[in-house]
Amino acid sequence: MADKKRGIHELYREDAEQADYLIWGRKSDPLTRRGFLKGGGLAAMSAAIGASIPLAHLMPGGLIPAALAQTSEPFEIPGKEGLIVLNDRPVNAETPAHLLDDAVTPARYLFVRNNGTPPAMQSIDLENWTLTIGGESAGREVSLTIDELKSRFEHHTYQLQLECGGNGRSEFVPPAGGNQWTIGAVGCPEWTGVRLRDVLEYAGIDDDAVYVAYYGADTHLSGDPTKVPISRGVPLAKALEDESLIAWSMNGEDIPLMNGYPLRLVIGGWPGSVCGKWLTQIVVRNQVHDGPKMTGTSYRVPCSPVAPGSEVPDEDMCIIESMPVKSLITFPRSGIEHPIGERLALRGHAWAGDLEVSAMHVSTDFGATWQEATLGRPANRLAWQHWQAEVDFPEAGYYEIWARAIDSDGRAQPMVLPGWNPKGYLNNACHRIAVQAV
């Protein structure tokens, strides 16, 4: 066995083919990436997993078996039990897939992605919290308290999914720096607030307005009060959509501090980074917003595909807009044993950025064949959809269940890592779980 101290993820990240060889003695066919897990390699992988792998000849090379892919330490933020900590400065934590099983994500299971230091709870004075609308293309500058927001504008409730642009980053080869999210930087709670559009129209939107951006009350990790940890935005048309909210409530309760209490933006279907937390200021811009994390490699990907590891010139990088089609298997949890001969019921969610999911498929043979799942309608636009399916297993041993969604433009999730980019965004490869048929 290879050097355990480095961990399986790190080994695969450095060089997936080499990791296969080091750990299992497996060499894959460079053309088909299949079929070379035999003899000693197969025995080693079976021993690590604790079962034989009936369909080993179909298992692609360079892939960590799902049974071994989800190991980390528990997270300890009160109110977020069960989440996996990725970093504590700033706090970043993701949710294991099986804890995302609810149709509407409970507050305690919503991931946390902080770029700076959140405001302390004691420093938040609800009565005097003000939101300022300004910027060079706002009709006038307006300040509103939370009570004024609540009393002057119509309230709306939508279920909106939030996914970090870097969700899935841990699988990129060559690796990308940043939080090594696996699959759990996503959730879909129900949000209540006022429409960003109504508030922008109240302040006035000049004819030359093109972008709307936020500032929040969190502070830069350096402690320098003149530095802003993150300030991002969206084109005016996205800001004006019905579902773009200034929210004070999540699932009918106050938003948890770590998720932006007392006020945050929720703009569904785009990278979570456009949803400003601890919201204090909105600016209407006459140019593409240029705040911290809008430029360089932040939340930007090559405008056209590049070879893995390429240096991409700044002018060839484009801002991420809608997130790609993706899905999760939330039941059963990875690693269960299941009696052979009994059908196994599966379920999960699927989403597709600004689009809808039009079909959902599952595979038990490493993607060789797929069967259609039953797919539900979203609660509203930009909410995830629920799916279910039943599968069975021909003989005892190790299986993986793979899930694949297709969006309303006919685009499917890839089975392996999609387009490499310098910061490891937009990995929408199929989610996989392990099942032992016994």
Ligand X SMILES: Nc1nc2c(c(=O)[nH]1)N[C@H]1C(S)=C(S)[C@@H](COP(=O)(O)O)O[C@H]1N2
Q: Decide: is 203 part of the binding site for ligand X (CB under 6 A).
A: no
- Laid out side by side, the sheet with 130-134 consists of 142-145, 130-134, 279-285, 211-216, 233-235
Q: Decide: is 162 part of the binding site for ligand X (CB under 6 A).
A: yes
Q: How many CB atoms lie within 10 A of CB 151?
A: 9
Q: Which structure tokens are listed for 143?
A: 């300040």
> Among 249, 259, 298, 334, which residue interacts with ligand X (rule: CB under 6 A)?
259
Q: Which one of Mo ion, ligand X, none is in contact with 162 (Cβ closer than 5 to 8 A by kind)?
A: ligand X
Q: How far is the CB of 186 from ligand X (least distance, A)?
A: 9
Bridge-based pairing of strands 130-134 and 279-285 is parallel
Find, among 287, 282, 288, the residue nearest to 134 by Cα: 282
Which positions ≥6 away from 168 have C-beta within 8 Å?
181, 182, 183, 424, 426, 427, 428, 429
Q: How many CB atoms lie within 10 A of CB 201?
A: 13
Please, which residue, 115 or 192, has the CB nearer to ligand X?
115
> Among 268, 276, 367, 378, which residue interacts with ligand X (rule: CB under 6 A)?
276
Q: How far is the CB of 409 from ligand X (least distance, A)?
A: 24
> Among 56, 84, 99, 112, which residue interacts with ligand X (rule: CB under 6 A)?
112
Cα dihedral 120, 125, 126, 130, rounded to 10, equals -100
- Which residue has 């298997």 as its token pair? 329
Q: Which stretch binds ligand X (CB under 6 A): 272-280, 319-327, 348-356, 420-428?
A: 272-280
Please, which residue, 114 or 180, has the CB nearer to ligand X?
114
Q: Which one of ligand X, Mo ion, none is in contact with 353 (Cβ closer than 5 to 8 A by kind)?
A: none
Q: Which one of Mo ion, ligand X, none is in contact with 329 (Cβ closer than 5 to 8 A by kind)?
A: none
Q: How far is the CB of 73 from ligand X (least distance, A)?
A: 19
Q: Decide: is 273 part of the binding site for Mo ion (CB under 5 A).
A: yes
Report the distance separating Cα 326 and Cα 105, nearest Å: 17
> Among 105, 114, 161, 192, which residue interacts with ligand X (rule: CB under 6 A)?
114
Whole-number CA gyration radius for the chain: 23
Q: Which one of ligand X, Mo ion, none is in contact with 347 (Cβ closer than 5 to 8 A by kind)?
A: none
Q: How many CB atoms lie within 10 A of CB 61?
A: 22
Segment holding 201, helix H or strand E: helix 196-203
Q: Decide: is 278 part of the binding site for ligand X (CB under 6 A).
A: yes
Q: Give the number of residues in contact with ligand X, rule: CB under 6 A.
A: 21
Task: Find the residue with minimal CB distance to Mo ion.
Answer: 164
Q: Decide: is 229 part of the binding site for ligand X (CB under 6 A).
A: yes
Binding site for ligand X (CB under 6 A): 110-116, 162, 164, 216, 218, 229-230, 259-260, 272-273, 275-278
Binding site for Mo ion (CB under 5 A): 113, 164, 272-273
